[in-house]
Homo-oligomer: A and B are copies of this chain.
Amino acid sequence: MKLKFIVPIITDEDLGPMEERVGNYVSESTEVHVESIPYGSVSNESFLDEAVNTPSVIKMAGKAERDGYDGVFIECMLDLGLEAVREVVDIPVVGPGRTSILCAVDLADNFSIITELEHTNVSFLHLVRSLGLESKLASIRSIEMPVLELNNRSRLLQSAMEAAETAVIEDGAHSLILGCTRMVGVETEMRNRLKQKGYHVPLIYGVPLTLRYLENLINSELTQSKRTYRTPPEKKNTLFDRI
């Protein structure tokens, strides 16, 4: 099968290494193609970012479906634009935010989310609330590192571990979710440290889990409900001519 992995920001980054990494998460017979959007902002940290990046994500997902892709992954823990994209295409569209939250609710009685910036906490609360799962949320803890600094792995590791311990000890978290797709490369070390400290709680990093979940959906012949995400009627749309 062939999956489109949409990076919902504008970026000059060479996406080759990312494509290689995420390709390792899936079955050998699955291809993952990574692409960033042409118009929008450089990171997703606000309702504003969501508003300016979503139109390009929709357009890219529509093209992917026409190009024969079997599924779409949107690389943003806030599941940026997911609902609009699910309206526009029939192939399954997944987001690592909701997939991670639902997995946490399976594995534990509650969960905490470790976010990059307090700025995004309201958006995460809205995501949790839209799933009807506010009663399962232990806390949202931010580490106050902007997404563009997250490649400082040692600082990320230290900050994320501090937030994780606070969530477990003070907020009573039974499971933990890394709240940014770019908090990558620290998950294994964090799991080891948590176990050494005696905290046997799942730490969820959403990207591999969600890509495999997308494969699972496709193999199970499942896709989003068209009663929830109804196909919009054809109508004039002058924005798509501009982007």
Contacts and interface: CB of A to CB of B under 8 A. Distances in A.
Count the copies. Answer: 6
Contact of A221 (B110, B130, B191, B232): B191
Contacts of A119: 230, 232
Contact of A174 (B40, B87, B227): B227
A115 interface: no
Size category, A interface: 35 or more
Interface string A221-243: 11111111110110111111011
Contacts of A224: 107-108, 202
Contacts of A103: 102, 217, 222
A189 B136 CA distance: 36
A231 to B, nearest CB: 8
B58 A48 contact: yes
A131 interface: yes
Interface stretch (A69-77, A158-166, A204-212): A204-212
A1 interface: no
Interface in A146-172: 146, 168
A196 interface: no
